[in-house]
Amino acid sequence: MDLLNTLVDKGLRRELPTREEALAVLATSDDDLLDVVAAAGKVRRHWFGRRVKLNYLVNLKSGLCPEDCSYCSQRLGSKADILKYTWLKPDEASQAAAAGLAGGAKRVCLVASGRGPTDRDVDRVSQTIKAIKEQNEGVEVCACLGLLSDGQAERLREAGADAYNHNLNTSEGTYGDITTTHTYADRVDTVQKAHAAGLSACSGLIAGMGETDEDLVDVVFSLRELDPDSVPVNFLIPFEGTPLAKEWNLTPQRCLRILAMVRFVCPDVEVRIAGGREVHLRTMQPLALHLANSIFLGDYLTSEGQAGKADLEMIADAGFEVEGADQVTLPEHRAGTAGACGSHAEAGCGSHEGAGCGSHAEAGCGSHEGGGVCGTAAVPAAGEPRTDLVAVRRRGAGTDLAPNA
């Protein structure tokens, strides 16, 4: 297919595709899907080999957010039955992070719901960052705290933060339909503040909120222009009790096309499969590793994810390898730039939840105890909502139960 050959050539040269080419990827048929994956996979392997970076989320403060982001289970007015708790103490957060690091993660993403941190909150998170780094040599830490005020990014950097996550989520043209308590420009400003402070910027999107192909291309092109080191791709979890609870618009095939389009537009950045992969990619998750070079290990912010052991088995069975702590994520030309933090590459998190960290926070999966999948249960027909795959997180941070990592 001439389109795919052109996109591979451009990806290897870091050349931006045209909007028409990006839209054409989203419009490809299911008959051409494996060709699309194979083509984008060539670009992924050129820049990242067969390495998969593992990231681990710690939800420092859950629920009770004053913002009205329609996709988020922690939003103002949410009726979702999620865990609600105030700030974890630094030693509690460090203990939670240790579980993910023991499971193979090289980056810890510290997330807190809310519009943005107060100066006292920045002090609190700074203490947490120092506690984690003192106990885990070489660990990368990304903060995801919402909108930043002047000087806060610099203070986080001084405390040892390597990266900052703040997602654009959707296109500028439709942003007001999703959130009214802050603007798209506010989000762009925070990503720019992180960049300016020398933090590795992480910013991504949420697919499946009823957006058009044009909206998806718009937000990915905007991300390319912002030039974050990491682009988390979340797939909406239609959490009961949120305004988007009935939005079940994604199929595994559509998710793969979206990831391929992101890889072609952002060929040399860390593309992370974030919240919702278990719910929407399902058994097609291994194919997505040919497109993305980063995932979250275990649970998300307010929902449960695939069992950590299953994540590791999936990576190995698909012929990939977990990226080691001594390996640099980003290609050399990016790792040496200010804010790239050399070894991470991917900064933050991208979670759709609230200020999210790459995880949309809801990505439920139910493949472990208590999860929604039951081996004997009837599987819904293709195209039907998979509410059976959405499970509220009931363990890990904020509970007395061991985390999934």
Q: What is the mean pLDDT of residues 64-74?
A: 87
Whether the predicted pLDDT of 373 surpasses 80: no
Contacts of 175 by beta carbon, 8 Å cutoff, 6+ apart? 169, 183, 184
Higher per-residue pLDDT: 2 or 371: 2
Number of structural domains in the chain: 1
Catalytic annotation, pick one of 75, 109, 157, 349: 109
Tell whether 367 is covered by a domain: no
Q: Tell me: is residue 109 an annotated ligand-binding position.
A: yes
| Most trustworthy range by pLDDT among 72-81, 104-113, 331-340, 394-403 | 104-113
Q: What is the mean pLDDT of residues 12-29?
A: 98
Higher per-residue pLDDT: 126 or 337: 126
Element (H, E) at 10: helix 2-12
Beta bridge partners of residue 202, listed in sequence order: 165, 230
What are the structure tokens assigned to 200, written together?
């590795």
Whether the predicted pLDDT of 368 surpasses 60: no
Element (H, E) at 271: strand 270-273
Whether the predicted pLDDT of 404 surpasses 50: yes
Tell whether 77 is covered by a domain: yes
Tell whether 398 is covered by a domain: no
Q: Is 272 a catalytic residue?
A: yes
What is the C-alpha separation between 254 and 226, in angstroms, rounded? 25
Catalytic annotation, pick one of 44, 107, 124, 202: 202
DSSP code of 70?
A: T
The number of residues in the chain equals 405
Whether the predicted pLDDT of 359 surpasses 70: no
Tell whether 11 is covered by a domain: yes
Q: What is the pLDDT of residue 196?
A: 97
Q: What is the pLDDT of residue 241?
A: 87
Please count the other Cβ atoms lying within 10 Å of the Cβ belonging to residue 286: 14
Q: What is the pLDDT of residue 267?
A: 98
Q: Tell me: is residue 202 an annotated ligand-binding position.
A: yes
- Only one residue has tokens 């402070």, namely 197
Q: Are 328 and 335 in contact (CB under 8 A)?
A: yes
Window from 28-37, 51-60, 219-228, 233-242 with minimum mean pLDDT:
233-242
Alpha-helical runs (H) found in 55-172? 90-102, 119-135, 152-158
Confidence category of residue 339, pLDDT binned at 50, 70, 90: very low
Q: What is the mean pLDDT of residues 33-49?
A: 98
Q: What is the pLDDT of residue 403?
A: 84
> Which structural domain range is residue 252 located in?
2-335
Q: Is 109 a catalytic residue?
A: yes
Which CATH number does the domain housing residue 205 bear? 3.20.20.70
Tell whether 33 is covered by a domain: yes
What are the structure tokens assigned to 340, written together?
């790239």
Q: Is 357 a catalytic residue?
A: no
- Only one residue has tokens 């795959």, namely 389
What is the C-alpha separation between 98 and 155, in angstroms, rounded? 24
Q: What is the pLDDT of residue 299?
A: 86
Q: Tell me: is residue 142 an annotated ligand-binding position.
A: yes
Q: Is 144 a catalytic residue?
A: no
Catalytic annotation, pick one of 142, 144, 266, 349: 142
Q: Is 374 a catalytic residue?
A: no
Catalytic annotation, pick one of 224, 257, 272, 386: 272
Q: What is the mean pLDDT of residues 273-278?
A: 95
Q: What is the mean pLDDT of residues 386-399?
A: 86
Whether the predicted pLDDT of 383 surpasses 80: no
Tell whether 254 is covered by a domain: yes
Q: Is 65 a catalytic residue?
A: yes
Q: Is 341 a catalytic residue?
A: no
Confidence category of residue 371, pLDDT binned at 50, 70, 90: very low
Tell whether 188 is covered by a domain: yes
Q: Tell me: is residue 365 an annotated ligand-binding position.
A: no
Catalytic annotation, pick one of 51, 65, 124, 255: 65
Question: How large a percentage of the chain has pLDDT more than 90?
Answer: 72
Window from 101-105, 215-219, 259-263, 298-302 with minimum mean pLDDT:
298-302
Burial of residue 324 (number of CB atoms within 10 Å: 0-12, 13-18, 19+) = exposed
What are the structure tokens assigned to 178, written together?
């999703």
Whether the predicted pLDDT of 191 surpasses 50: yes
Please count the other Cβ atoms lying within 10 Å of the Cβ belonging to residue 316: 12
Q: Tell me: is residue 272 an annotated ligand-binding position.
A: yes
Higher per-residue pLDDT: 220 or 135: 220
What is the C-alpha separation between 208 and 236, in angstroms, rounded? 5
Contacts of 155 by beta carbon, 8 Å cutoff, 6+ apart? 122, 126
Q: What is the mean pLDDT of residues 75-83?
A: 77
Whether the predicted pLDDT of 203 surpasses 80: yes
Confidence category of residue 393, pLDDT binned at 50, 70, 90: confident
Catalytic annotation, pick one of 44, 51, 69, 365: 69
Tell whether 250 is covered by a domain: yes
250-254: long-range contacts (C-beta < 8 A, 24 or more apart)?
250/207, 250/208, 250/276, 250/280, 251/280, 251/382, 251/383, 252/280, 252/281, 252/282, 252/283, 252/284, 253/30, 253/33, 253/284, 254/207
Q: What is the pLDDT of residue 77?
A: 78
Q: Where would I find the beta strands (DSSP E) of 71-197?
A: 107-112, 140-144, 163-165
